[in-house]
Structure 1
Amino acid sequence: MKNRPFRERMGFAFEGIRTGWRREASFRTQTILAGVALLALILLRPAPIWWGLVAVTCALVLALELLNSAMEAVIDLLHPDIHPSIKVAKDMLAGAVLAISIAAVIVGFAMVIATGPRFLAEIGL
């Protein structure tokens, strides 16, 4: 699998995203929330730094969600039985997704607080 052409490697990556979308409800939910964040950016028209912060936090949430799903799939394949160490590993993976999701919400709130008054003034409220 090493040293494949770039186009082929990109195909693997896109297949991973498609598989995440098909198999994981959490990934679909997080993707929809990223779309809501994009809509908020379009409506609020914040400074470019906010576009970058929102894009990076959304990308991190989606990437960690995919990583969480991939690791859980490997764990379930290698050790399908319930085991305390397996539970710890899965809980920690879910915790990583939760931690970055909280950070993304904080970034979103900060953006709304920073740009909301200007937006409301522009629309006459």
Structure 2
Amino acid sequence: MGLRDYKRASLLNSFGYAINGIIRVIKEERNIKIHLCATLIVIALASYFHFSRNDWMVLLIIITIVISLELVNSAVEAVVDLASPEIHPLAKKAKDVAAGAVLVAAIVSVIIGFLLFLPYFTILR
């Protein structure tokens, strides 16, 4: 196997590891399932209302931010549990801060979603 083949295999392996991580979080974490269900509903509504290209871009960015932060939060929790199996104030702080980041993103995404969908719902009146 030459260097080029090794790099290609390594890149493919990296994608495989990333996909395995995403699948594992989806299987094991309740909150990401909630975010994904909300994502499906929001995407269905955006399709129904024929969102503009700009609305789609904003929507996909906020969805990506929330899902990505949920993945990072799960990674932080796993690393903290590994590093500090016993209860420790700093371990709690790390977990709480990571969860807080997801919460902030989720709240802001709901506000942005409301602003994106509002014009489409007022048209229905």
Short-chain TM bin: 0.7 to 0.9
Aligned to 1:97: 102
Out of 88, 92, 97, the residue aligned to residue 87 of structure 1 is: 92
1:112 paired residue among 108, 114, 117: 117
Letter of the structure 1 residue corresponding to residue 104 of structure 2: A
Detail structure 1 runs of 4+ shifted over 4 Å in the superposition. none
CA distance in 2, matches of 1:17, 1:84: 28
What's the TM-score once normalised by structure 2's chain length? 0.88
Aligned ranges for residues 1-125 of structure 1 at < 5 Å? Answer: 3=7, 4-118=9-123, 120=124, 125=125
**In the aligned structure 1, how far is the partner of 2:76 from the partner of 2:92?**
12
In structure 1, the residue corresponding to 2:87 is in which secondary structure? coil
RMSD (Å), alpha carbons: 1.6
Any stretches of 5+ residues in structure 1 without a counterpart?
Answer: none
TM-score using structure 1 length = 0.88
Conservation of the 8 A alpha-carbon contact between 2:76 and 2:94: no
Q: Using the TM superposition, name which of 78-87 and 3-12 deviates more.
A: 3-12
Query: How much does 1:28 deviate?
Result: 1.1
Query: Sequence identity of aligned pairs in percent?
Result: 31
Q: Which runs of 5+ in 2 are unaligned?
A: 1-6
Distance 1:87 1:42 in 2: 41
Letter of the structure 2 residue corresponding to residue 25 of structure 1: R
Q: Cα offset for 1:33? A: 0.9
Give the Cα–Cα distance (whole angstroms) in 2 for the partners of residues 91 and 46 of structure 1. 35
Q: Distance in 2 between matches of 1:88 and 1:48?
A: 40
| 1-structure distance, mates of 2:16, 2:119 | 39
Work out the number of aligned pairs and report it: 119
Q: Relative contact order (C-alpha < 8 Å, sep 6+): which is higher?
A: 1
